Amino acid sequence: MRLSHITKRFGANVAVDDVSLDLAPGEIVGLVGENGAGKTTLMSIAAGELAADEGTIEDRLTAGVVHQHFLLVSEFTIAENLALAMWGRNAEEIIRDSGIELGDVSRRVGDLSVGEKAKLELIKAIARHPPVLILDEPTSVLAPSEARALFEVMRRLAAAGTTVIFISHKIPEVLEVATRIVVMRRGKIVVDGGVMGAEELAEAMVERRERRDASEDGRPVRGGPAVEPAALRIAGLHVHPGEIVAIIGVAGNGQSELAASLRDSLRGQVAHIPEDRARDGLIAQMTIAENIALAEPRWRPREAAHRAAALIERFIIRAQSPLQRAGSLSGGNQQKVILARELERQPRIIVAAEPTRGLDIESTRFIHDELRAAAGRGAAILLITSDLDEAFALGDAIHVIYRGTLSARLTPGEAAVQAPMLMAGVGSRESGAGA
Amino acid sequence: MSGLRRPTPDSRLPRIAIAIGAALLSLILLALCGIAFGHAPGELLSILISGSVGSTFALEGTLLKSVPLLLTGLSVAIAFRAGVWNIGGEGQFLAGALGAFLGARYGMAAALAASLIAGALWASIATAMRLWRNAPEVLTTILLNFIAIHLLGYAVNGPLQEASGKYPQSDVVAASLPTFGSSELHAGIVIAVVAAIGAWFLLYRTAEGLRLRASGFNRSAAKWAGVHVDAQLVRAMAISGAMAGLAGGIELLGVTHRLFERFAAGYGYAGIAVALLAQLHPLGTLASAFFFGALTTGAGELQRTAGISSTVATFGQAIVILAMIALTRRRNA
């Protein structure tokens, strides 16, 4: 199977950028990269679930896909779920064929452990003996022993001639099982080759970035030891007034929980830019003026409309009127409304989670400038981001979050060296904190 | 569906048009159903209209019916605006009436205050269950209705039964609302209209109202914006219960003057129809309560002159709710 010059765009965002990839039978391809590097999109195109905007696929083969999220009917038994996938075949026989053990087939899927559900998904995918099998982050929910059992199945399938593609961001696992490693970054394949060392792989995944000199982007250097007491201080983390501390990490390592715990424990004292803009950002049914006034102690409709109009102008929000429904704005403009509201509070502490995710360059730059300006006015800013460029562009200090645990406070220089390894959990000293 | 999305979602006019359309539709369907019973549609409509607004007497009846409907409608509108599914207007109505009966010994003001407090407390049982055990209020408020109904049944058969012990009803309540001249129309109508304006002011002119509406639209986003959403839940439920309780108190003090077993007579549930037709807007509730009041009074006239059961009023309510659902599309899909 040969993918050539595949390009896929989502709006202005190029998810897969002119990628070519040959797949040979019997390979176990470890496809690695940061979140948003384009791994899943590329594989969806290979599996025929998504159409490419450009490029061709030669010798297309059927691919069995195990998705990151389970596609199972919880109310059905194992046997019923298999019947949905493969009508007419005996469930126990399908399972025996797969070589995977899964106990009693009359159990309800909703009662299974995540490990068992993952196995069931895998059984579904290989029941048709597809020549290509794509596994999207299959180990993220598995215990180490379950992951090893999965690797055994992968090796057996490969030995029988199946091409196995293993999407992961866990470097040790990829090194353990893959016979070929493909690294994607920003929609492109940057490394395609055989076995390599952990450090080499980590560096390929995450561009090594030199810290941009402060004078370069016109930001005054805020050097020296912080003299003011920290405005925000939780275990292992302190943010001083005027400082931007970035937390980076692969999504799902406790970033959302950290932001939510700050929201609940410091209600009203912290300005938030929530991560899930669509769900948590604005009240879509209410007007821009109403949304902005939510943070205010009082509500006078006319006053609020005037203030909103001023903010619309200052934050260059593309809106017809402050009385326009917030839900009718574009994503970038909604984010600017949130920013306007939160910064208007003159907050001492700002927690910004993925403030520019999915936004165009213009809005991104604007938001970065505003955050810097807020820090310049003395706000303590905690920036939670999966965009490393953003972290390095804004952060005065950086922590890496991995499995709910923060790394030591790193200078941007240190982070440029250590972050890839810490993000992948390589060489991290896990101090027993399992959550 | 996306092709049907209205281009000017901010405009108020279509909303009013939808409500008027639903009300007219229910009248037309009622009249058409009359054909099944051998009545000319026009004849039914003219009886409905003359029986509800055709004379001073009829209009007075309509206004009397509108008062409890207005208050239970406000109760539902405030709760639904906050995203709280209070279906317990019936029980809160009864709690309010019981409270008013007991409070009336200490005067009219005490009776009214007691009805507000009793309704709020009764509703707050559901809030407590929601906050501590995450029990959905849509269930607990309904179940509390049944408890309230039986509690009232016990009261009028036991401790509060009239001194003569003849019927399962209470003695005449110790206070009653003043009436306008020689009519039966009582001061409760003023209280109800003031309550509607007050509810509008609360929802649309105060910061707390803004936060209450925000919590109703999107609890999660409101939380991130710094709104204490649980406090909004507590407040909305208490105010909602207080409105329904006040409805019960006023009905007792202004109309029935006694408690009896079937005291609530569906006002609590009718409040849902009133609020929905009003699109959950307190001022819209004024018109919508009047419409349902007229429908109920007109239906009484239908029963007397055309022999059609007055339960057609309930039928009308149901049609209005269905028509409203059919005419309003989900705005924020």
ipTM confidence: 0.83
Which of the given ranges, A50-54, A236-240, B41-45, B238-242, has the highest pLDDT on average?
B238-242
pLDDT at residue number A347:
87
Give the chain B residue whose CA is nearest to the CA of A303. Answer: B205
Flag whether pLDDT at A362 surpasses 70: yes
Locate the domains of chain A by residue range.
2-205, 210-269+348-435, 288-346
Beta partners for residue A188, in sequence order: A185
Examine the pLDDT at B330 and tell me if it is beyond 90.
no
A2-205 and A210-269+348-435 share one CATH topology? yes
CATH code that applies to domain B14-327: 1.10.3470
Q: Which H or E run contains A402?
A: strand A397-402
User: Shortest CB distance from B226 goes to which of A282, A295, A300?
Assistant: A295
Q: Does domain A2-205 have CATH number 3.40.50.300?
A: yes
- pLDDT at residue B27 is higher than 60: yes
- In this structure, of A214-223, A264-273, A308-317, the range with the lowest mean pLDDT score is A214-223
Average pLDDT over residues A228-233: 59
Across the interface, whether the CB atoms of B222 and A282 are under 8 A apart is answered no
Average pLDDT over residues A144-160: 85
pLDDT at A42 over 80: yes
pLDDT averaged over every residue in chain B: 89
Q: Which of B12, B205, B210 to mutate to test the interface with A (most CBs of A within 10 A)?
A: B210
Sign of the Cα pseudo-torsion (B27, B29, B32, B34, in order): negative
Q: What tens digit of pLDDT does each residue of B149-194 get?
A: 999 999 999 899 888 888 889 988 988 899 888 888 999 999 999 9
| Nearest residue, CB atoms, B217 vs list A263, A283, A300 | A283
What's the token pair of residue B242? 């207080």
pLDDT at A392 over 80: yes
pLDDT of residue A195: 67
Using the predicted structure, report yes or no on whether residue A262 has a pLDDT greater than 60.
yes
Say what the pLDDT of residue A175 is. Answer: 85
Rounded (5°) CA angle B221-B243-B316:
90
Confirm if B80 and B134 have CB atoms less than 8 A apart. Answer: no
Mean pLDDT, rounded, for B12-18 = 74
DSSP designation for A29: E
pLDDT value at A226 more than 50: no
Instruction: Suggest the residue from A273, A283, A286, A303 to mutate for an interface test with chain B (most B CBs closer than 10 A).
Output: A283
What was the pLDDT predicted at A12? 65
pLDDT of the residue at A428? 46
Would you state the pLDDT for residue A261? 86
Find, in chain B, the residue whose alpha carbon is nearest to that of A353: B224
Report CA-CA distances (Å) from B183 to A231, B62, B178: 68, 13, 10
Beta strands A188-193; A180-185: pairing state: antiparallel
Class of domain A210-269+348-435: alpha beta
**Which residues in B lie closer than 8 A to residue A323 (C-beta atoms)?**
10
pLDDT at B13 over 60: no
Q: Give the model's pLDDT for residue A88.
A: 79
Task: Render pLDDT for A76-122 as a digit per residue (tens, 0 to 9).
Answer: 999 998 888 888 788 888 888 887 888 888 899 888 877 788 888 88
pLDDT for position A122: 87
- Residue A328: list chain B partners with CB under 8 A: 9
User: What pLDDT is recorded for position A141?
Assistant: 67
pLDDT of res. A234: 66
Chain A residues with CB-CB distance to B80 below 8 A:
none
Residue B71 has pLDDT above 70, yes or no: yes
Residues 6+ apart with CB under 8 A from A107: A77, A78
Decide if pLDDT at A221 tops 50: no
What letter would DSSP give residue B12? S
What was the pLDDT predicted at A225?
A: 38
Average pLDDT over residues B293-306: 88
* Reported confidence tier of residue B18, pLDDT bands at 50, 70, 90: confident
| pLDDT tens track for A267-282 | 778 899 998 887 888 9
Residue B258 or A195, more confident = B258
What pLDDT score does A427 carry? 56
Q: What pLDDT score was predicted for residue B213?
A: 96
B207–A297 CB contact, under 8 Å: yes
Q: Does B216 contact A at CB distance below 8 Å? A: no
Nearest to B331 among A272, A281, A285 (CB): A285
Residue A326 CA from chain centroid, whole number: 26
